[in-house]
Amino acid sequence: MNDSSQMGTTCASSSSSAKNPARRRRFGLAFWLTFVICMATWMVLSGLFDAFHLSLGVISCAIVADLNARAMWLDVNLGRTLRHWGRFAVYVPWLLIQIWRANLHMLKLTFHPRMRQLINPRMVSFKSRIDNRMGLFIMANSITLTPGTVTVFTSVMGRFTVHAIDDVSARGLPGEMEDRVARIFED
Amino acid sequence: MLNITVIVLLFLGLFFFFAGSVGILRFPDFYSRLHPAGKLDSMGLLLTMSAMALYTVGQWNLGAFLTAIKIMLIVVFIYITSPTATHAIVDAGVRAGLTPWIRSDKGTEHDLAA
């Protein structure tokens, strides 16, 4: 999978990468993925499709991709990366629906005349079973985006401290969201 | 038809922004004020920006389409950075040792005065 480079002949360190698997090929998959993402961003943001601007884009994206590819993709595996992105794309609409529903709840609280009797702020702690950092990042941001809960503290080991505004919000933790985030990153 | 959708989305978004400001004033303490501040805003942003993107796409050409993508990119970046910023503010509060407001079941009059 890592060897799907289309520029294999210009590869600088093919012999040493065989001895040392940690050192990857220069124009490998990581380079091309970074390049494609950079180039797509370039085209959307410039909006100019003549030869001059496109070639400028190719040159700068190639430089950026070569410098950053090995930092961006610690362990590149096209199939797994695509699976993660696909599952994340499925997760986002669900999250948006949750944000919408929870926002209505927040609206109700905000305009309720006896709001201070309805809310019951407290700190909630729980241990998450998510074990990778990207999953923890998505989980923490999802908790903050769904109103009623703000992530106060996250550790790499998966400990979360959350400030919940009322009983309903506190009861929903970690709950379904954790299952869904964990499912994104299972292989 | 498109114009009506855009206007409805815009006003709904502005209403969420307004509710966020009201929430900041009404909630009792620092931590609970961050709930409306950080999140009713994100909903308001999504709605208003969708309205803008929809309005731009209505012109049906490539430039308008690219502009719409750029507008939606704003939403994506805000949705990544806004929770992070909220978290940083909460973290600052915790580090400074501020204790969260807790409802006392009898003293609501006192809380309102405070």
> Mutating which of B9, B41, B43 best tests the A interface, going by the most A Cβ atoms within 10 A?
B43
For residue A3, being part of any structural domain is answered with: no
pLDDT at residue A163, rounded to an integer? 84
Nearest Cα of chain A lies from the Cα of B9 at a distance, in angstroms, of 13
Q: Are residues A65 and A118 in the same domain?
A: no
Q: Is A148–B31 a contact, with Cβ atoms under 8 angstroms apart?
A: no
Per-residue pLDDT tens over the stretch A129-163: 887 888 888 888 888 887 778 888 888 787 888 88
Q: Amino acid identity, residue B71? A: I
Q: Which residue matches tokens 């499709």?
A: A49
> Mutating which of B35, B72, B89 best tests the A interface, going by the most A Cβ atoms within 10 A?
B35
Hey, which residues does A125 pair with through a beta bridge? A161
| Tally of structural domains, chain B | 1
Q: Which of A52, A76, A100 is the last residue of a domain?
A: A76
Q: Are residues A96 and A174 in the same domain?
A: yes
Handedness of CA B80, B83, B86, B90 (dihedral sign): negative
Q: Are residues A64 and A120 in the same domain?
A: no
Q: Is B100–A110 a contact, with Cβ atoms under 8 angstroms apart?
A: no
Q: Are residues A91 and A174 in the same domain?
A: yes
Q: Is A103–B39 a contact, with Cβ atoms under 8 angstroms apart?
A: yes
For residue B108, being part of any structural domain is answered with: no
For residue B78, being part of any structural domain is answered with: yes
| Tally of structural domains, chain A | 2
Q: Which range of residues forms the domain containing residue A35?
A: 8-76
Q: Are residues A104 and A147 in the same domain?
A: yes
For residue A121, being part of any structural domain is answered with: yes
Show the tokens assigned to A84.
């993660």
Neighbours of A112 (CB within 10 A): 13
Show the tokens assigned to B98.
């501020």
Q: Are residues A151 and A174 in the same domain?
A: yes
For residue B110, being part of any structural domain is answered with: no
Q: Which range of residues forms the domain containing residue B35?
A: 2-97
pLDDT band at B97 (very low <50, low <70, confident <90, very high): confident
More confident residue, A5 or B92: B92
For residue A1, being part of any structural domain is answered with: no
For residue B75, being part of any structural domain is answered with: yes
For residue B114, being part of any structural domain is answered with: no
Across all residues in chain B, what is the average pLDDT?
83
ipTM of this complex prediction, to 2 decimal places: 0.77
Q: pTM score, two decimals?
A: 0.74
Q: What is the mean pLDDT for each group of 10 consecutive residues in chain A (187 residues)?
A: 38 43 66 89 87 93 88 74 87 88 85 79 81 83 81 82 79 76 81
Q: Are residues A66 and A86 in the same domain?
A: no
Q: Which of A76, A91, A109 is the last residue of a domain?
A: A76
pLDDT at residue A142, rounded to an integer? 85
pLDDT band at B32 (very low <50, low <70, confident <90, very high): confident
Asked whether the bond before A174 is cis by omega within 30 degrees of 0, the reply is: yes
Q: Is B43–A148 a contact, with Cβ atoms under 8 angstroms apart?
A: no
For residue A2, being part of any structural domain is answered with: no
For residue A51, being part of any structural domain is answered with: yes
pLDDT band at B2 (very low <50, low <70, confident <90, very high): confident
Burial-class residue B33 by CB neighbours within 10 Å (0-12, 13-18, 19+). middle
Burial-class residue A28 by CB neighbours within 10 Å (0-12, 13-18, 19+). buried
For residue B83, being part of any structural domain is answered with: yes
Hey, which residues does A127 pair with through a beta bridge? A159
Return d(Cα A92, Cα A100) in angstroms, integer: 12
Q: Is B69–A44 a contact, with Cβ atoms under 8 angstroms apart?
A: yes
The answer on pLDDT for B71 being more than 50 is yes
For B9-23, what is the mean pLDDT? 91
pLDDT at residue A143, rounded to an integer? 84
